[in-house]
């Protein structure tokens, strides 16, 4: 089944403790992206990747890192999480750039206390 898989689905952590949210897709897509969704602010793009070893900042990249060493994986890293990073995070992929249908993961609800 074609899908985008995020892990974990739920995470509660403490301020400053490094964490990684994994994202994997099995569709051989070139384009992958991370978003956060907050009430009243909607979905905002954090980082995106056009292909392996190619990443770029979205609208809200501060406090986040990403890497794209393999085509299928695009982890989101929070080196020192803060409470303002409490949010619902989505990973998405599409065949080539966003100019094709996007597939979204189920989301990761992160709480930083």
Partner 1 sequence: KQEVTQIPAALSVPEGENLVLNCSFTDSAIYNLQWFRQDPGKGLTSLLLIQSSQREQTSGRLNASLDKSSGRSTLYIAASQPGDSATYLCAVETSYDKVIFGPGTSLSVIP
Contact positions toward partner 1, by CB under 8 A? Answer: 4, 31, 33, 35, 40-45, 48, 50, 56, 58-59, 90, 92, 97-107
- At its nearest, how many Å lie between partner 1 and the CB of residue 79? 23
39/34 Cα distance (integer angstroms): 17
Report in angstroms how near the CB of residue 101 gets to partner 1 at its nearest: 5
Q: Is the peptide bond before 8 cis (omega within 30 degrees of 0)?
A: yes
Q: Please name every residue paired with 10 in a beta bridge, in sequence order, or none if there are none.
A: 109
Shortest separation between residue 35's beta carbon and partner 1, angstroms: 8
Q: Which residue's CB is nearer to partner 1, number 39 or number 69?
A: 39
Residues 6+ apart with CB under 8 A from 67: 55, 74, 75, 77
């Amino acid at each position: 089944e074609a899908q985008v898989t995020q892990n974990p689905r739920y995470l509660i952590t403490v301020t400053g403790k490094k964490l990684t949210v994994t994202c994997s897709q099995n569709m051989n897509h070139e384009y992958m992206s991370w978003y956060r969704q907050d009430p009243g602010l909607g979905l905002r793009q954090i980082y995106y990747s056009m292909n392996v070893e190619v990443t770029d900042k979205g609208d809200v990249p501060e406090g986040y890192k990403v890497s794209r060493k393999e085509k299928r994986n695009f982890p989101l890293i929070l080196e020192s999480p803060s409470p303002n990073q409490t949010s619902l995070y989505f990973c998405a992929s599409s065949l080539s750039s966003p100019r094709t249908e996007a597939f979204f993961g189920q989301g990761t609800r992160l709480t930083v206390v």
